[in-house]
Structure 1
Amino acid sequence: MQKLIKDGQIIANTWALLAKAEGDAAAVEVPAGQVIVPFAVWNAQQDKLQSRSDVGVWLDSDEGAELIGAHANQFPVIGLNFPLFMDGRAFSTARLLRERYGFTGELRAVGNFMRDQLCYLRRCGVNAFAFADPEANLEEAVKSLSDLQEYYQAAVDQPLPLFRRRRRA
């Protein structure tokens, strides 16, 4: 079983990621068990899937947080796909899901992100990382979560900017 990083720990990945359908999303068979479906499948089969507590959704880089918006907290997990490591749109989607829509569940980066991005993804609210490369060194990747110790800006993981934190000290 493939592993992932969640909340700074290496754990077994119990969720299957359903690939994006080429054809009609309404015709896609969603298997039993914990599965993260593409937004198009969720959107087409919402009436049937919303009663399941073992279904998450993933957004592609061209699909924004507003697509699930106020309904985000009905999902136990939301995946954010990185088709290329250079595509940073999921950073904004993560922040919007956490800050604007109040998502409190697992926010998982999937696809082709790099180890160097983990610290910044965590700052945006991502708390789980499923690397596309099954050979990724997860022990080393966990260390990347704390590459930087102090930040000037406010973020999801540290809501006060440095000048406000210093004033309180």
Structure 2
Amino acid sequence: MAAIIRDRAVVEDDRRLLGEDDALPGDDTPVIVTWERWQTLLDGTAEDDGRHPAAGVLIPNTLDLAEGWPLLQHRTVIALDFPAFPDGRAYSQARLLRDRYGFQGEIRATGQAVVRDQLHELDRCGVNAFALRDDQDPQGCLKAFETFSDAYQPACDGVEPIWKRRREAAAG
């Protein structure tokens, strides 16, 4: 199994990402399936019939969460696709999942843009698990969470922005 970062610790990945043609395991093995495959498993309904209770879902960064949320809200793992550096749509999806929809489960970043330089900001947006690109050292990437001590804007992590702290100090 590959290592991932989950909740700022390097752990063995306990989930298997299934390709479109991979057979579903016959047991309770935790898997992640694509959004398209998830809809097929649900036979087009929002009801999970219990056949795949441990399934996480990898959603495309083009998915409108307002439409997809009813099918995702009972999952414990939602994986987001970060295919390239200039494409920030999955950052917005992470924020929406945490802030608007109150998702408490694992939000996993996957894709070619999941590298050390992005981890701090991904974490601030609500991502708590990182399937790093193959050329990344998970242990070395842990240092990314300590890169910045201050924040300049509010985010999911609850860190009070420096401008707000300075304003409160000046007023007090």
Give the aligned partner of residue 6 of structure 2. Answer: 6
Cα distance between partner residues in 2 of 1:67 and 1:145: 32
Counterpart residue number, 1:129: 130
Which runs of 5 or more residues in structure 1 are unaligned? Answer: 23-27
Alignment of 1:7-156 (within 5 A): 7-19=7-19, 21=20, 29-31=23-25, 32=27, 33-46=29-42, 49-51=48-50, 52-113=52-113, 114-133=115-134, 135-156=135-156
Aligned residues: 162
Which amino acid is 1:119 matched to?
A: H
Q: TM-score normalized by structure 1? A: 0.84
Shift in CA distance, 70/49, structure 1 to aligned 2, threshold 3 Å: closer
Alpha-carbon contact 1:55-1:75 (below 8 Å) kept = yes
Alpha-carbon distance in structure 2 between the residues aligned to 1:30 and 1:76: 18
TM-score w.r.t. structure 2 length?
Answer: 0.83
Q: Do 2:151 and 2:160's aligned partners in 1 also have CA atoms closer than 8 Å?
A: no
Question: 8 Å contact 1:73–1:102 — kept in the other structure?
Answer: no
Give 4+ residue runs of structure 1 displaced > 6 Å after superposition. Answer: none
Could you list the per-position Cα deviations for residues 33-89 of structure 1 after superposition, in whole angstroms to 9, with x for gaps in the alignment?
A: 100111111112225855232111011222232343245441111000122233221
Tell me the distance in 2 between the aligned counterparts of 1:93 and 1:140: 27
Percent identity over the alignment is: 37
Does the residue aligned with 1:74 lie in a helix, a strand or coil?
coil
Could you tell me how far apart the structure 2 residues matched to 1:118 and 1:65 are?
22
Distance 1:138 1:154 in 2: 27
1:30 is matched by which residue type in structure 2? L
Q: How far apart, in 2, do the equivalents of 1:77 and 1:165 lie?
A: 34
Look at both structures and tell me which one has the larger radius of gyration over its CA atoms. 2
Equivalent position amino acid for 2:59 in 1:
L
CA–CA distance in structure 1, aligned partners of residues 67 and 24 of structure 2: 20
Q: Which amino acid aligns with 1:132?
A: R
Computed over aligned residues only, the root mean square deviation of the Cα atoms, in angstroms, reads 2.3
Deviation of 1:136 (Å):
1.9
Q: Match for 2:129: what amino acid?
A: A
Superposition deviation, residue 2 in structure 1: 0.5
